[in-house]
Chains A and B, each alone.
Chain A
Amino acid sequence: MDNLNDLKAIWQTANTTDLPKSAEMLRLVKKFRNQRLLKKILMIVLAILLLAVMVFVMFIYRSAMLTTRIGEVLFIITCIILVVTNSRSLKRFIDLKDCSNKEFIEFLEQTRRNQVYFYTRTQFIALCFCSLGLVLYPYEFVHIKLTWFIGTYTFVLLYLGVIWLIVRPRVFKKEARKLNETLERLEKISNQIK
């Protein structure tokens, strides 16, 4: 009972009657929006919006102090980094059309490697620019009054402390573990197709 034709006969007995009917599936797929890429698209749109606002502010409000100008430029650089990184990543997914399992595993491996690079390098650099911008930008508006200055900078430094010392290390550790596990599995599968 263990030859291939017997196995094929058993294989065909799988119950497929409870699969959605074609009309129902059509309704389902039409409702579907690409959830996987939605986060990237949202990030790009938000970064472009912020970029536009910063450029607009730069031209409308002529700041007197250099710290404000530097802050604005740092915010703009951060936005550009986010737009470029996410657009590149989005393009890779859009370009991926008809590919074999081997090519797909290579694509996933590359994607995960890119993510590791993003977390260790790109995100770090973007966060540095953004943090420095956040410190420099409000100076012009709050330096006149000591209470404003202390209030604003206490809030900014607390916020940056939480991001740099609590949020980022935690997220990084979790993501790094997940990515490394995935990369190991992908490598294992990749070796099976060699």
Chain B
Amino acid sequence: MDFEEIYSLYSPQIFRVCMGYINDREQAKDLTQETFISVWKNLSTFRNQSKISTWIFRIATNNCLRALERAKRVMITELPFHLPDEPHEETQEEKLTFLYNCIAELEETERIIISLVLEDLPQAEIAAIVGLTTVNTRVKIHRIKEKLAIKFKYHGQFE
């Protein structure tokens, strides 16, 4: 697989994961770019010891973690609407912003794990990316889902 193929295949996924972690479009784009700079530089030395997707997600999430040295804290964006007195049908964009805000309230590794879950990665792969055991990862995912469910119920946004 050459660089351009890898980029076309993985860049949307990497961008969404970075967005889930950092909750800022421009920073997420920068992190995506940094990820692919690392991929390009190290592609020739990649030895297939892990799946290529695991390798790329590791680079991306490690870049996200490193971003903590630059960014003070993750943004919690104001919802782009005032809650009306009467319930209305939320747009996809509003739902997505709400989801990002809920994720932004989680801890750093939880943000990474849930972003990978939402990207539909198998639990074993998520475990390999984060560096946890599969059992531990399963427990973490369960807890994160519970936390998100509480947030969603509390806000009652999408019932």
Contact = CB atoms under 8 A, between A and B. Distances in A.
A16 B69 CA distance: 26
A189 B109 contact: yes
Interface string A9-20: 011111010111
A100 interface: yes
A2 B152 contact: yes
Interface string B25-53: 00001001100110011100110011000
Contact of B58 (A10, A18, A26, A99): A99
A6 B7 contact: no
Contacts of A1: 152, 157-159
Main secondary structure of the interface of A (DSSP, over half): helix
Given A11-B118, A22-B8, A189-B108, A104 B62 contact: yes
Given A16-B12, A189-B109, A192-B110, A100 B129 contact: yes
Contacts of B65: 101, 104-105, 108, 189
Given A101-B61, A104-B58, 14 more contacts: A1-B152, A8-B118, A8-B120, A11-B20, A12-B16, A19-B29, A22-B4, A23-B4, A99-B131, A102-B131, A103-B131, A105-B65, A189-B109, A192-B109
A4 B99 contact: no
A103 B49 CA distance: 16
A7 B42 contact: no
Contact of B99 (A10, A28, A103, A182): A10
A88 interface: no
Contacts, number: 128
B113 to A, nearest CB: 9
Nearest to A23: B4
A185 interface: yes
A39 to B, nearest CB: 15
Interface in A7-62: 7-8, 10-14, 16, 18-20, 22-23, 25-26, 28-30, 32, 34
B132 A193 contact: yes
A97 interface: yes
16 contacts: A1-B157, A2-B149, A2-B159, A7-B118, A10-B96, A13-B93, A14-B16, A16-B12, A26-B7, A97-B42, A98-B50, A100-B58, A101-B112, A108-B65, A189-B109, A192-B107
